[in-house]
Amino acid sequence: MATRVETIENPTGWTDCPGFSCAATACDIRGTDKERLDLALLSGTGKLTAAGVFTTNDVCAAPVHLCREFLAVHSDRIGGIVVNSGNANACTGPGGMEDARAMAEVSTGACGVEGPFLVCSTGRIGRRLPMDKVLRGIRDAAGQLSTEPAAGRAAATAILTSDTRAKMATVRIHHGNKTFTVSGFAKGAGMIEPNMATMLAFLATDLEVSSDTLANVLRQATNRTFNRISIDGDMSTNDTVLLVANGASATLVDADASLLEAFASAVEQVCFVLADKIVADGEKITKVVELYVEGARDEISADKVARAIANSLLVKSSWYGSDPNWGRLLDAAGYARIGLIEDRVDCFYDDCPVLLAGVAQDENLALWKQIVQRRRFSIRLNLNLGDASVRLLTTDLSEAYVNFNKSE
């Protein structure tokens, strides 16, 4: 049976996916803007199976603890997801856990569904949620759940913090004469480093998928996409990616190898597009850099080199200044200490040689300068030590980033 995966134009988030509904409302969680959407409810018809991937930070927000607890027991039947922005409910102690539980319980009750609601929060760390506003917002939203595209877009907007735009992606799987969907939306902006980031992403599918398969597919997709981006090297307390299946298509994935492959590919594609949108909307960035480290002895050392470069303040500052400074790049690669051999290194800006066997190709200087002025360019570093490679998507560092983050 022919199977094809296709990314659609103008995605609207979960409402692209049959059998899912969304609502968003303005609760004034920040206390500074009564009109701003800051709470979203996501739900669906049928039996919802779910899987999650979470921050590996020792310091986890209350909703992350709660999601882990719920998924350990109820991954084959959740009620939906409730998300707020403006307050991370992190470092809030036992009271914060009670708040997260109350958000889940009130959501389940207000939506009249079976199974617990997963909870996500993003925003400022260390402050208790204004629970009266939040619970009122949940009850309001529950009455507005809708399958219309506008509701999907509103939910994608309500979860934003310092993002400048909503981030949505939808892929259709054409499998024989049937069509299935994987939809997603995300927020990012600051504290973005793999394993993951102040990053929330929510994926939905109308396929029927066991929670074990969801977990495997999501783990692999996340490792290849969201865990391969870095804006500022800071990993957050709240990072969460959730994948929910409602079985609305009445087509079971688990037993059909070719459909499973297509589904995994579709999930990865949605994650890939969302990860790219997160980086491109990084806090006060001016450039997106696709960094390829190739010819490493193994993937771990390729990753170390890529992260040393991507997290170097001196490298990021030079990108900001459109300075094709390969010296800082090579210096950073060197302090990853993977046994790099200087006179084997090739380096390219887009397709233009910068270093060949460690020797600078100075005659290309004018072209280097043109390339690093671009809004988006690639850097390819071949260590010529082995066959492993990684791709890491990263950004420059601007004065405006520092100014923006000097206080909250």
Active site residues: 198
**Helix boundaries (H) for 174-325:** 211-224, 257-280, 299-310, 313-320
Nearer to its own copies, 180 or 320 (CB): 320
Q: Are 200 and 194 in contact (CB under 8 A)?
A: no
Residues 343-372 within binding reach of its own copies (CB under 8 A): 343, 358-360
Return the structure tokens found at 151: 């509701």
Q: What tokens were used for 281? A: 């909307």
- Number of residues interacting with its own copies: please give it, by CB under 8 A: 64
| Interaction between residue 408 and its own copies (CB under 8 A) | yes
- Which residue of 6, 34, 143, 335 would you call a contact of its own copies, by CB under 8 A? 335
- Helix/strand/coil for 384: coil
Per CB under 8 A, which region of 4-12, 140-148, 215-223, 396-404 contacts its own copies? 396-404
Single out the residue of 121, 116, 143, 98 nearest to residue 39, CA to CA: 121
Q: Is 251 in the site for its own copies (CB under 8 A)?
A: no
Q: Using CA atoms, how far apart are residues 300 and 393, in angstroms rounded to an integer?
A: 16
Q: Does 380 bind its own copies (CB under 8 A)?
A: no
| Site for its own copies contains 192 (CB under 8 A) | no
Here's the x/- map for its own copies, 264-303, by CB under 8 A: it reads as ----------------------------------------
Residues 151-190, one symbol each (x = binds its own copies by CB under 8 A, - = not), give: ---------------------------------------x
Q: Which are the contacts of 9, defined by CB distance < 8 A and separation ≥ 6?
A: none
Residue 89 in the binding site for its own copies (CB under 8 A): no
List C-alpha distances in Å: 155 to 24, 73, 145, 345: 5, 27, 10, 47
Say whether residue 9 binds its own copies (CB under 8 A).
no
Distances (CA, A) of 286 to 75, 228, 230, 240, 276: 40, 19, 14, 26, 14
Tokens of 336: 């990853």
CA-based nearest residue to 109, from 138, 83, 131, 77: 138
The interface mask with its own copies, positions 31-70, x = CB under 8 A, is -------------------------xxxxx----------
Judged by CB under 8 A, does residue 386 bind its own copies?
no
Q: Are 29 and 85 in contact (CB under 8 A)?
A: yes
Q: How far is the CB of 53 from its own copies (least distance, A)?
A: 16
List interacting residues with its own copies (CB under 8 A).
56-60, 88, 90-91, 93, 124-126, 190-191, 193, 232-237, 311-314, 317-318, 320-323, 325-328, 330-343, 358-360, 397-408
